[in-house]
A and B are shown apart, each in its own frame.
Chain A
Amino acid sequence: MADFEVPELREYPIIPKLKEGVMAHSSPYVAKPELQQQLGFPGEMVDDWKEKAIDTLGELTGKYRSLQVFLDSCVKCGACTDKCHYYLGTSDPKNMPVARQDLLRKVYRRYYTLPGKIFGKLGMPGFVGAAELTEEVMDDWYAYFHQCSQCRRCSVYCPYGIDTAEISMAAREIMDAVGKGQKYCNEIIGKAQIIGNNLGLPEPALKNTLEGLEEDIEDETGVKVRMPLDEKGADVLLITPSADFFAEPHIDGLIGYAKVFHAAGISWTMSSYASEAANFGMFIGSYENTRKLSLRIREAAIELGVKRIVFGECGHAWRVAYSFLNTLAGPFDFLDPNYPVPQHICEFTYELMQQGKLNLDPSANDDMVLTYHDSCNVARASRMGDKPGGQFEIPRAIIRATCNNFHDMPADTIKEGTFCCGGGGGLLTDDLMEIRVKGAMPRMQALNDVTKNHSVTHMAAICAICKSQFSKVLPYYGFEMDQIVSLHQLVSNAIILDGQVTEGQETEGEEITN
């Protein structure tokens, strides 16, 4: 199945012995000149790339105080070393967060600290943890900063809160600035800026897909549930990852959102102009590109005259939306101030559940025993609801209301300690399959634990990347690809719409309490 060794799942996690350089070969395809140029980057490596890289590093530390603090403050305590899923899955020491950071830090120390400058001139920069920027260093950057999914797990355990995600973003921005960008991310950003979404789905295709889904729902339930596109005057604009229109199991989540809007009687629409929630601009650390994608959402909201913006199930999108949307594309003073700007679809559904507006029959999901995968950027870079930890509790409350059988995975693998799916941060591409499969090991191990001990059959998630990544990597570990489900797929199964025809009015399933 694979031309690399798939890690073994163990009964309990171990810290692997170091295998130096085993992942040095893992580098994604480089973006072609036209892809680079459309994002405002040089087409290919510029002649003075070394000077340009050092200058850009200086600009970034000047612009982002956090970056400079992160580069300055590491004391090499080692708390992060065994926290990265890519290190645990590959044994490559450069996938330890501190070592990954040091790839950039040593260059920063050489050119931007006094000891680095002095010892650099003496020809012994290594004495103070500094290093010259060479082609080998650049190759290491390209390989290992594309083995970081920017999941921020390491930052939770760092006593200084050093965020490797931000260091990875800076490194990618420097590489883009000298003309060495990643094909996967940069191609996608270009498509989203030209067509409106990462897949490149034009409006007619979107319309055709949504009409087909309306037919499917009516066939299944007997109820006309709408999937509105570009409808002016709707109350809510739904911004969702384009994978929700295209892939499995994402599309079942989209059907779930539509049923919730229908049951609540709230008018809503999607936009063909802003038909993407995921913002890949963040993955490459590019403020300008992150902003351009965010502005499309603002423009669509104004054009359609909506009162609220709700985001679908998408992890990094929610980070950008929750944490940065207002400064990137605000102020959103034209929206209804009685609702959070923006709102997560889970908050939206949860609120309706609290108000008793959704008729839910959890026995509809009795054929499954669920667990929940906290997506990294929702867990560690955002929040939901009005209480701390809402991003953990609200999705679980929805699962409990829609399913009778639920078990959490081991405590050190969920909530703020959640393990990334292995495909986040711009790594969800076939040319990085080895690192994706190996990086999924800690999550697969945790899933294996609840499968064995609690008969868990399915894992729910609220991120398009997580869903695609798990569909792909589950079979490598002996699971089935369809064991990953959308959270709103559970809602879709459990919700009973007014006038819905239920199949033969089945008897209720046996209730199992946990």
Chain B
Amino acid sequence: MALEVNGKTFETDEEGYLANLNEWEPDLANAMAKVDGAELTENHWQVINFLREYYEEYQIAPAVRVLTKAIGKKLGKDKGNSKYLYELFPYGPAKQACKYAGLPKPTGCV
């Protein structure tokens, strides 16, 4: 599978996750969200940017608890919970947000 954005072609796997992490660019996230019928707001970007920073350091997406804590610090305590993250990413913050951030899909019993 592939996605066309700004005249560039991005290879994705069968579930729509970016094949090559290094190719990621912000417009790709917007395009992926559009496919799901969503529009990315500033709050979505806070999550996506945190995921990318965390991945850069640890080579894995953060645990849901780590993510909620970090978002709580950035956006206020009332937003530091999974309920808020599910409002932003209804398909699940770990999976949907990782996809937009260009990260691989978390695997295992999750």
**A residues lining the B interface (CB < 8 Å):** 29, 184, 187-188, 191, 197-202, 204-205, 208-209, 212-213, 216, 241-243, 245-248, 251, 278, 314, 428, 430-431, 464-465, 467-468, 472, 481-482
Pair B60/A200 contact, Cβ less than 8 Å: yes
Partner of A205, one of B15, B58, B65, B94: B58
If over half of A's interface residues share one DSSP class (helix, strand or loop), that class is named, otherwise mixed; here it is helix
Contact with A along B1-38 (1 / 0, CB 8 A): 00000000000001100000000000000000000000
User: Does B108 touch A at the CB level, under 8 Å?
Assistant: yes
Q: How far is the CB of B106 from chain A (nearest CB, A)?
A: 6
6 example contacts (A-B, Cβ-Cβ < 8 A) are as follows A199-B106, A241-B109, A430-B15, A431-B15, A464-B109, A468-B109
Known contacts A29-B14, A247-B94, A430-B95; A208 and B109 CB within 8 A of each other: no
Q: Which residues of A contact B94 (CB under 8 A)?
A: 246-247
Chain B residue with the shortest CB-CB distance to A243? B109
**Chain A residues within 8 Å of B82, by CB:** 248, 482
Closest to B91 in A: A430
Instruction: Give A188 to B95 CA distance when docked, in angstroms.
Output: 16
B46 at the interface (CB under 8 A from A): no
A430 vs B13: C-alpha distance when bound (angstroms): 13
Q: How far is the CA of A467 from the CA of B83 in the complex (A)?
A: 17
Minimum CB–CB distance from B49 to chain A (whole Å) comes to 18
* Cα–Cα distance between A220 and B5 once the two chains are bound (Å): 46
What are the interface flags for B48-65 relative to A under an 8 Å C-beta threshold, 1 for contact and 0 otherwise?
A: 000000000111101111
User: Closest CB-CB distance, A297 to chain B, in whole Å?
Assistant: 17
Contacts of A242 in B (CB 8 A): 108-109
Q: Is B75 an interface residue (CB 8 A)?
A: no
A236 to B65, CA, bound (A): 25
B107 near A246: Cβ-Cβ < 8 Å: no
- In this complex, what residue of A is CB-closest to B105? A430
Tell me the complex Cα distance, A310–B84, Å.
35
Asked if B107 and A188 sit within 8 Å, CB to CB, the answer is: yes
| A204–B58 touching, CB < 8 Å | yes
Nearest CB in chain B: distance from A247 CB, A: 4
Q: Once the chains bind, are A251 and B63 in contact (CB under 8 Å)? A: yes
> Which residues of A have CB within 8 Å of B57?
204
Scan B74-90; emit 1 where CB is below 8 A from any A CB, else 0: 00000000110010000
* Neighbouring B residues of A482 by C-beta, 8 Å: 82-83
Interchain CB contact under 8 A, A188 and B108 = yes
Given contacts A29-B14, A202-B58, A430-B15, contact A248 B64 (CB under 8 A): yes
Known: A202-B58, A247-B94, A431-B15. Contact between A209 and B66, CB under 8 A? yes
Cα–Cα, bound, A188→B110 (Å): 12
Additional A-B contact list (13), CB under 8 Å, known A202-B58, A209-B66, A431-B14 = A199-B106, A199-B110, A205-B62, A209-B65, A212-B63, A212-B69, A248-B65, A248-B82, A251-B65, A430-B15, A467-B109, A468-B109, A472-B92
Among A188, A199, A212, A314, contact of B66 (Cβ-Cβ < 8 Å):
A212
CB atoms of A184 and B109 under 8 A apart: no
Q: A246 and B63: CB pair below 8 A?
A: yes
| Interface pair A468/B69, CB less than 8 Å apart | no
For A205, list chain B residues within 8 Å (CB): 58-60, 62
Contact across chains for A198 and B65 when beta carbons are under 8 A apart: no
Q: Check B60–A198 contact: CB distance below 8 A.
A: no
Whether the Cβ atoms of B63 and A191 lie closer than 8 Å is no
Q: Is the CB of A199 within 8 A of B108?
A: yes
The answer for the CA separation of A248 and B80 in the assembled complex, in Å, is: 14
Using CB atoms, name the residue of chain A closest to B65. A251
Give the residues in chain A near B86, CB-CB below 8 Å.
481
